[in-house]
Chain A
Amino acid sequence: MTVLDRLADVLRSGLGPGRVISDRQELRTYECDGLAHYKVTPGLVVLPRDAAECARTVRACVEANVPFVARGSGTGLSGGALPHADGVLIVTSKMRAIVEVAPDDERAVVEPGVINLHVTHAATPAGYYYAPDPSSQQICSIGGNVAENSGGAHCLKYGFTANHVIGAQVVTPAGDLVELGGRAPDSPGYDLLGAFVGSEGTLGIATRVTVRLTRLPESVRTLLAAFETTDQAGAATSAIIAAGVVPAAVEMMDALAIEAAEAAVACGYPAGAGAVLIVELDGPLAEVEAQFAQVTALCEGNGAFELRIAADPAERALFWKGRKSAFAAVGRISPDYIVQDGVIPRTALPEVLHRIGEVSRAHGVRVANVFHAGDGNLHPLVLFDDAVPGQAERAEEVSGAIIDLCIEYGGSITGEHGVGMDKAKYMPRMFTDDDLETMQLLRCAFDPAGLANPGKIFPTPRLCGEVPRRHKADEPRPAELF
């Protein structure tokens, strides 16, 4: 009997029927997340129904010294929820209660398996919504959003998941249930919640999340501006920011991304556009009207040859449909693709886009660009055909070269998808050994045994064996003055 067999027995008797999957075929359903080119069949899958079951599962893993990985909807694009072959995959899909919507406190309390968009649906009747909106918001889960600190189009104005999560009940890697943060702001002590959000499942599993709700804006105005070149669109973006306007979103697509979106959802973007910008403003009516006129003029002044203003929510939805379906749409023009997720300072956009073009031409690999222009978060889609020998490798090289460009321009290797399994190897290019070692101090505080989602984020995990010195009562020896 293997360790996993014994663990399965323990969990079955502890959690009751229907929570533990050990059948090989069923396990394969969970072999990857949204990043499908890494596949590992998990040793076991457990589907807890509440925090207590989740904690019990983790404790059982700790006792058996078996690694565990948490997974929400599995929409992550960095392999963050890639299972461990000899470990347990803890799936939160049965923890889907919206525990409470409290508009008077501007808070909602939800379980980790709740779908992002469902929080907004629950809050809308009271005049509120949940601001962080990854493009996958119709299927991604809040627990996954918390793990990855995943953003979306509206981060520019409204901030990231970390700015909207104010409390979490967490199962630590030791199996303890702790409350981090709370319903009121500024809990005393270290901001462990702030460190937990975005820790990619390496510091524990959120079992209940308290989020901030945002008032639905009085007015929303959305503009679609078509340009001949990405340079013009980039210049327009810079001009908008320079004018002191903070749009709710500024999104850009280049010609190839537009072609893909047209092929997939027929969004009817202006013909012949080399770049399209979607600029959305929201807020109080008078404010939005004044700034919208300013934004429109700035787009025209920077060479927009066609401007469309959404007349109603249906038209706005159509503008966004092309953008939000762009990743999936690329499948229409290429059998395979890699979604990259790098960040650059916004002002470097035109230069970096040119250099991406050079890399693309030099390697004979097409790159479609669709991204959050307002905050410099690029999503180059590197297109290839796995059936053609050598193409996958070349695409991988281009993808890596783009990450190098992001680092060269002072940016980041990931803006919202996370490091996961996929980018752990790039971490030493962005951070020094000392930086990484310091981050791992936090990991060791939470997870001395290294069982929580091992192999993610850090290329070389640190051993947490050192026993820290406790308080010393003795007086310090005299220092030398020199």
Chain B
Amino acid sequence: MALWTAATEADTVGGVPARFVAAPADTAQAAEVLRAAAADDLAVVVRGGGSKLDWGMPPRRLDLIVDTRNLTGVVEHAAGDLIVVVRAGTPLAGLDLGDQQLALDPVRAGATVGGTVAANTSGPRRLGYGTVRDLLIGITVVRPGGMVARAGGKVVKNVAGYDLGKLFTGSYGTLGLITECAFRLHPRPAAHALVVRTAPAGQIGALLAAVRAEQVVPAAVEIDAPAEGPVTLAVLVEGTAAGVRDRAATLEKALGGQATDEFPPWWGAYPWTGAGMKLTAPLSRVPDLLSHGVALRGSAGTGVLYADVPVDAAPAVVERLRAAAIRAGGHGVVLTAPPRVREQVDMWGPVPGLELMRRVKDQFDPGHLFAPGRFVGGI
């Protein structure tokens, strides 16, 4: 049987056409594909649901797309141990774990588990549950060249060996193919409520501080800031029915807002249409990211916001937003942009520790065959 088939016109990554597509169904097949790919010196990009395939820089070279569409399904759900082992191509949104949940918000329709790990995406509830790196407890990967390696395991508490799961989280497919992930789970809460308040941008800092000052243990603190006009703050609390009622009442008082069980339409969705940035800042400096004349949305409770960068003004806006984030002590990364914008801006901005990162890449992928050029510093 052929390990890969000829690519079609649809098989492009960031505008770069591939020559072949492989869709292995398990780790062993994936290893066989990657052994053969290395022998033929093929440049590889991994594709999950394709929902973030336009993120990062286009690959410098591309021969083979390894598609995870057949690499799906739950390998093990140990409910009593609150863990799940799932194959990388499994759609995140479709995971049915009964009264338990993998507390990662699907932020893009069609996103897979593997793509969520590789791009390290997180949604509103990262405040309450942590991000991919906090929930991932074990990982199986196929290295460029086809060697299968595993790190971590199936227990939550485990410090044996290096935590390669963290290294692969957010690595944009540059270190190898993720085939299976083990996660810790959380019970699905019995009840939830949101308290929503709209206020001028200048008041948001005080409102965020007011939320922090209360004992409400929010699962999410989100803001939606249009390019002009007032900002909407929405705080999510989860738990027992009585506890949620109590805390929502506390928040209504603290914010002068309204409690509801309806999520606002913008909840957990990126605000951009053409070009999008991710801006980070320490909590107290989140208000400094507002009022730059662009639409922003995201997790004000953890200091991670997403910006809609107008394509026509992109280079100037990217510079302005990035400068604001860096002044605040954070970073500004362009996640996606049309080709002409990519040519004009530095997608990643300054990256501390870049030399070490290059050495990590050289060790894991000495031939620079995995997603070459997609990641920081041209990695």
Contact = CB atoms under 8 A, between A and B. Distances in A.
A438 B151 contact: yes
A434 interface: yes
Contacts of B161: 419, 427, 430-431, 435-436, 439, 457
A186 B40 contact: no
Nearest to B43: A476
Given A178-B353, A191-B170, A479-B20, A444 B363 contact: yes
Contact of B239 (A186, A287, A477): A287
Contacts of A423: 160
Given A192-B360, A435-B151, A476-B63, A416 B159 contact: yes
A286 B240 contact: yes
Nearest to B133: A194
B169 to A, nearest CB: 6
Interface in A189-245: 189-192, 194-195, 197-199, 215, 217-218, 238, 241-242, 244-245
Interface string B318-336: 0000000100111101000
Nearest to B363: A441
A445 B43 CA distance: 22
A190 B63 contact: no
Interface range for A: 35 or more
A296 interface: no
A159 B156 CA distance: 9
Nearest to A200: B159
Interface residues of B, number: 107
Contacts of B41: 472, 476-477
A172 interface: yes
Contacts of A442: 162, 164, 167, 360, 363
Contacts of B328: 184
Contacts of A329: none
B151 to A, nearest CB: 7
B6 interface: yes
Interface string A440-482: 0111111000000000010000000010111110001101111
Given A104-B209, A457-B161, A188 B283 contact: no
Interface string B298-320: 00001110000000000000000
A245 to B, nearest CB: 8
Given A184-B281, A190-B171, A410-B154, A446 B359 contact: yes
B84 to A, nearest CB: 13
Contacts of A479: 4, 19-20, 36-37, 40, 42, 63-64
Interface stretch (A38-46, A49-57, A370-378): A370-378
B50 interface: no
Contacts of B284: 102, 104-105
Contacts of A199: 162
10 contacts: A107-B282, A148-B159, A184-B330, A184-B331, A187-B331, A244-B188, A284-B239, A343-B157, A445-B360, A445-B362
Interface of B: 2-6, 19-20, 36-37, 40-43, 60-61, 63-64, 78-83, 99, 120, 130-131, 133-134, 141, 143, 147-151, 153-164, 166-167, 169-171, 175, 186-188, 190, 209, 212, 215-217, 239-240, 242-243, 245-247, 278, 280-285, 302-304, 325, 328-331, 333, 348-349, 351-357, 359-360, 362-364, 366-368, 372, 375-377
